[in-house]
C-alpha cells in the first residue's frame, strides 16, 4: 500500500487549478477522496480528465459551517487540503467583502470542523506569498511579518494567522504552504499572466500586461506545488513553509520568455492599470529544502513548456 491508499481525504477548491492537479494525483495514489463542489465548471481539468466522476462530492460552500462539520465527521476524514478561496486580485479589489468572507470565514469553518472531529491527522492550508504583503527585506523567509494590506493580501494574511492560531491554541495539525504565483495547464483565469499570454499568442493577439510590467514575482509550476502540498501532509509537520523555484522574474520578462518559447513575434501591450499590486516579491525556500528534503522537480522553462503544450492541445480540440 502507498501512504495514500484508502486514506480519507477532503479537498476544498478541488476544481480549481491546483485542486484539479492535486485531486488527480491523489486519485492515482488511490486515496479515498471527498471534494467540496460549489459551482459546476465543465472546463475544469478535473472534469476534462474524468477524475471528477470517480471521487465523492459534497455540494455546498465553505461558508456553510454545518456542512463542514458534517463532511469531516461523516466521512471520517484523515487529511484535509484547504485550497478553496477567492484568489483573483482584481475581483478582491472590486468586492473586498465577498473575498474576505470567503477566505477568512472559510478557514475558520474548516478548522472548527477539524477541532470537533478528533480524527484529522493533517490540515494543509494553501496560503500565498501575498500573505507577506509588501516588505523591504527580500526574499521572504517564514519569519517575515505577514503584512497584507490590500483586500486579497489581507485575506491571505488573516487566513494564515488564523491557521497558526488554531495550531498554537488547540494543537491542530496545521501546515501552511506559502507559494509564489502558481501556473500550469488548466488555469482558465485569463487575466492571469501565464494563461492569458499563451491564449493571446495562440489566438494571434498581442498579450496584455495590466501592470507596468516591472513587478517581480516568483512563478511556480503547478505539479511542483502539488508535490509540496503532498509533502507537507505526508511529513505530518506543522507551521509555515515557503515553496517556489527561487527564480523571480519581472512580469515583462516572464511574458517575453513565453513569447520566445512559442516563437512568437507579437509585442505585449502594457496597460499600466493594475491597482493594489506589490512591486516585488520573492521567496526563500531553505526551510522546506532542509527540513522536508523538498526540491522543485521542474525548472521554470520546463514548466512553461509543459503549460504551453497543454494549452496548444486544449485550443486544438
User: Where in the sequence numbering do the catalytic residues fall?
Assistant: 152
Check if the beta carbon of residue 51 is closer than 8 Å to that of residue 24.
yes
In this structure, what C-alpha cell is assigned to residue 117? 472531529
Segment (H or E) for 57: strand 56-59
Which runs of consecutive H residues, i.e. helices, occur in 101-250? 106-117, 151-170, 193-202, 222-235
SS3 content of the chain, % helix, strand, coil (to 5): 45, 15, 40
Torsion sign, CA atoms 131, 133, 139, 144: negative
- Of 128, 99, 132, 125, nearest to 111 by C-alpha is 125
In this structure, what C-alpha cell is assigned to residue 181? 504565483
Identify the burial level of 67 via C-beta atoms within 10 angstroms of its C-beta, where 0-12 means exposed, 13-18 middle and 19 or more buried. middle
- Cα–Cα distance between 176 and 159 in angstroms, integer? 10
Amino acid at each position: 500500500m502507498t501512504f495514500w491508499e484508502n486514506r480519507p481525504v477532503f479537498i476544498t477548491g478541488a476544481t480549481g487549478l491546483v485542486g484539479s492537479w492535486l485531486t488527480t494525483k491523489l486519485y492515482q495514489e488511490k486515496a479515498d477522496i471527498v471534494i467540496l463542489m460549489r459551482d459546476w465548471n465543465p472546463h475544469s481539468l478535473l472534469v476534462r480528465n474524468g477524475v471528477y466522476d470517480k471521487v465523492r462530492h459534497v455540494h455546498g460552500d465553505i461558508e456553510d459551517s454545518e456542512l463542514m462539520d458534517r463532511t469531516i465527521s461523516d466521512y471520517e476524514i484523515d487529511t484535509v487540503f484547504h485550497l478553496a478561496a477567492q484568489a483573483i486580485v482584481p475581483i478582491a479589489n472590486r468586492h473586498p467583502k465577498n473575498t474576505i468572507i470567503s477566505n477568512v470565514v472559510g478557514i475558520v469553518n474548516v478548522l472548527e470542523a477539524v477541532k470537533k472531529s478528533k480524527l484529522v491527522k493533517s490540515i494543509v492550508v494553501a496560503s500565498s506569498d501575498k500573505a507577506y504583503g509588501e516588505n523591504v527585506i527580500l526574499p521572504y523567509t517564514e519569519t517575515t511579518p505577514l503584512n497584507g494590506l490590500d483586500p486579497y493580501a489581507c485575506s491571505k494574511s488573516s487566513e494564515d494567522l488564523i491557521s497558526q492560531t488554531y495550531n498554537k491554541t488547540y494543537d491542530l495539525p496545521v501546515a501552511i504552504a506559502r507559494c509564489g504565483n502558481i501556473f500550469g495547464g488548466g488555469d482558465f483565469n485569463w487575466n492571469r499572466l501565464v494563461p492569458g499570454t499563451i491564449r493571446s499568442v495562440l489566438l494571434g493577439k498581442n498579450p496584455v500586461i495590466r501592470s507596468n510590467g516591472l513587478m517581480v514575482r516568483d512563478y511556480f509550476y503547478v505539479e511542483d506545488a502539488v508535490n509540496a502540498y503532498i509533502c507537507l501532509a505526508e511529513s505530518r509537520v506543522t507551521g509555515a513553509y515557503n515553496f517556489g523555484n527561487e527564480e523571480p522574474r519581472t512580469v515583462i520578462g516572464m511574458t517575453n520568455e513565453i513569447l520566445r518559447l512559442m516563437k512568437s513575434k507579437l509585442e505585449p501591450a502594457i496597460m499600466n492599470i493594475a491597482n493594489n499590486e506589490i512591486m516585488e516579491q520573492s521567496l526563500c525556500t531553505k526551510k522546506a529544502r532542509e527540513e522536508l528534503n523538498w526540491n522543485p522537480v521542474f525548472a521554470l522553462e520546463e514548466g512553461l513548456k509543459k503549460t504551453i503544450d497543454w494549452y496548444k492541445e486544449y485550443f486544438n480540440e
